[in-house]
Amino acid sequence: MSRLTPISFASSDIDAIASAPGRVAIIVTPDGKMDKAARRANRLTKGAVARLLASDGFATGEPAGQTRVITMAWPAGMAAEALDVLVLERRTSVIEARRAGAALAKVKGDKALLVMAGGMSRAEDLALGLILRDYRFEAHKTAPDTEVGGVTIHHTKADELSLDTVRAIADGVVMTRDLVNEPANVLTTTEFADRLVEMQTLGLTVEVLDEARLEELGMRTLLCVGQGSDSPSKVVVMMWNGGADGDAPLALIGKGVVFDTGGISLKPPAGMEDMTMDMGGAGVVAGTMRTLAMRGAKANVVGLVGLVENMPSSNAVRPGDVVRSMKGDTVEVVNTDAEGRLVLCDVMWYAQERFKPAGMIDLATLTGAIIVGLGHENAGVFSNDDTLCKAFLKAADAEGEGAWRMPLGSGGSAYDDLLKSRIADMKNLGGRAAGSITAAQFLLRFVQDGMPWIHLDIAGVASVKGETPLAPKGATGWGVMALNRLVADMFERG
């Protein structure tokens, strides 16, 4: 797994500013007020910090009055190569503190960094933002590894701060990013399953269901997606039993299409290389389970991922084929590129039959339609349960992970009419109109009566072309923090 930036807290020592190597960061407010450490840096640099704060550039710089970093190179009177002036309000929110950490990470490079945080609130969130933005996926680069300098955060109450939860969250997010960023020739279904099995060392119980077992269970819609590939289809079950005996678990279910050509309904070649991220839902489930285990969550949670590869071959499922799901419903496959719902529906049914969960959340890079509707700022949220849905939206908002509730029809709605098949119980595609909604309507048919359920369409947020506030371009790890908070808010005891 990609390395986490080495980071630690230490008691404040303003004398360290003069001799610290690499980079030193101080904090000033948007109106130019300096704390004790900033005043020491100002004296060492013979007033350079004060001159910066009095300059027109500081007052009018973009974004004026907001969190930003201004770098002073080779400051006189200091051993450091750079003095980074972090502009931040004294009282800051969780989101703003994380973005402040990310702003420092963007200028940090490979150098050691000393952050003079004084008595700032949310220092742990600053640390988390710094770690997440300093992520680099370099597993397949042949250049010699560059040693990355660590980060030390000096704080007046360092002995009261802890990085345990920070590292647990960061570890889960980084695992998700690594999985989503991996090329498909590396992250095969077998390799994916093996990486999940390794998490048994964290206290998770992990089972791998092979094709023979899936056939016995009747997971024919899932199996039909992978039948054109040499990579064997698998379902991996990860169980975290941190709650009370007998408490029904929360079930997290992820689509894990390690590569999606579209099958016989072949995708256009332009951009097909991005389909290595079509296992993003499974990646989020894996990362969330890692975080829950690392922080010892006092809740019962089960994560299930369906791992397949969608390839065209003489044995691939064809448009017009009819397959029977584990539930027993028949599905006419009118488009083999609408494969994610075929994977999810069987895993969802299995999760309900085996675990009788207290609630169920599935995640999938499911439709391009959700990107048309919401862009890359928000995941689409579909739910049959207001209580669970509101709790998730609250958690996502608290973590700064964009999510927007979308409409969902009741049984027999006009959306359901779009899924009617002449020869089977339903089609796997309802056409271009309301594509993300009809995909959710398809999945709703596999939700048992009374089961609280959320479907998260993360096609627009799992991997992006540009950087986000807490991530460089590529995989974002979206969802790990929101789901971790949802578990803490709604399912943990004590």
CATH number of residue 417's parent domain: 3.40.630.10
Query: Which are the contacts of 273, defined by CB distance < 8 A and separation ≥ 6?
Result: none
36's enclosing H/E stretch is helix 36-44
Q: What is the structure's pLDDT at 63?
A: 59
Query: Which are the contacts of 494, defined by CB distance < 8 A and separation ≥ 6?
Result: 298
Q: How far is 6 from 87, CA to CA, in rounded Å?
A: 24
Say yes or no: 204 and 149 in one domain.
no
- Read off the tokens for 238: 């990860």
CB 267 within 8 A of CB 215: no
Say yes or no: 171 and 68 in one domain.
no
Residue 106: burial class (beta carbons within 10 Å; 0-12, 13-18, 19+): middle
- Read off the tokens for 437: 């909604």
Q: Which domain holds residue 430?
A: 167-491
Q: What is the structure's pLDDT at 66?
A: 65
1 is a domain residue: no
Say yes or no: 185 and 115 in one domain.
no
CB 111 within 8 A of CB 154: no
Say yes or no: 290 and 386 in one domain.
yes
Q: Which residue has the tokens 């309900």?
A: 352
Q: How far is 458 from 366, CA to CA, in rounded Å?
A: 7
Q: 160, 159, 156, 158: which is closest to 35 by C-alpha?
A: 156
Say yes or no: 173 and 153 in one domain.
no
CB 37 within 8 A of CB 22: no
162 is a domain residue: no
Query: Which are the contacts of 146, defined by CB distance < 8 A and separation ≥ 6?
Result: 110
- Read off the tokens for 203: 């206290």
CB 256 within 8 A of CB 238: no
- Read off the tokens for 81: 């190569």
Q: How far is 8 from 163, CA to CA, in rounded Å?
A: 8
369 is a domain residue: yes
pTM of the predicted structure, to 2 decimals: 0.96
User: How big, in percent rounded to 5, are the helix, strand and coil portions of the chain?
Assistant: 35, 20, 40
309 is a domain residue: yes
- Each residue's pLDDT expressed in tens, for the chain with a length of 494 residues: 898 999 999 999 999 999 999 999 999 999 999 999 999 999 999 999 999 999 987 877 655 446 899 999 999 999 999 999 999 998 899 999 999 999 999 999 999 999 999 999 999 999 999 999 999 999 998 875 667 789 999 999 999 999 999 999 999 999 999 999 999 999 999 999 999 999 999 999 999 999 999 999 999 999 999 999 999 999 999 999 999 999 999 999 999 999 999 999 999 999 999 999 999 999 999 999 999 999 999 999 999 999 999 999 999 999 999 999 999 999 999 999 999 999 999 999 999 999 999 999 999 999 999 999 999 999 999 999 999 999 999 999 999 999 999 999 877 789 999 999 999 999 999 999 999 999 999 999 999 999 999 999 999 999 999 999 999 999 999 999 999 999 999 999 86
Say yes or no: 93 and 181 in one domain.
no
Say yes or no: 212 and 292 in one domain.
yes
Longest Cα separation, the chain: 82
Q: 122, 159, 114, 119: which is closest to 36 by C-alpha?
A: 119
DSSP 8-class letter at 367: -
- Residues facing residue 382 across a β-bridge: 455
- Read off the tokens for 79: 């051993």
Is the N-terminal amide bond of 63 cis, ω within 30° of 0? yes
Q: What is the structure's pLDDT at 65?
A: 47
CA-based radius of gyration for the chain: 25
Q: What is the structure's pLDDT at 25?
A: 98
Q: How far is 151 from 117, CA to CA, in rounded Å?
A: 12
Catalytic (active-site) positions: 267, 341
Cα-flanking dihedrals φ and ψ of residue 105, to 5°? -60, -35
CB 126 within 8 A of CB 34: no
Say yes or no: 105 and 171 in one domain.
no
Q: What is the structure's pLDDT at 147?
A: 75
191 is a domain residue: yes
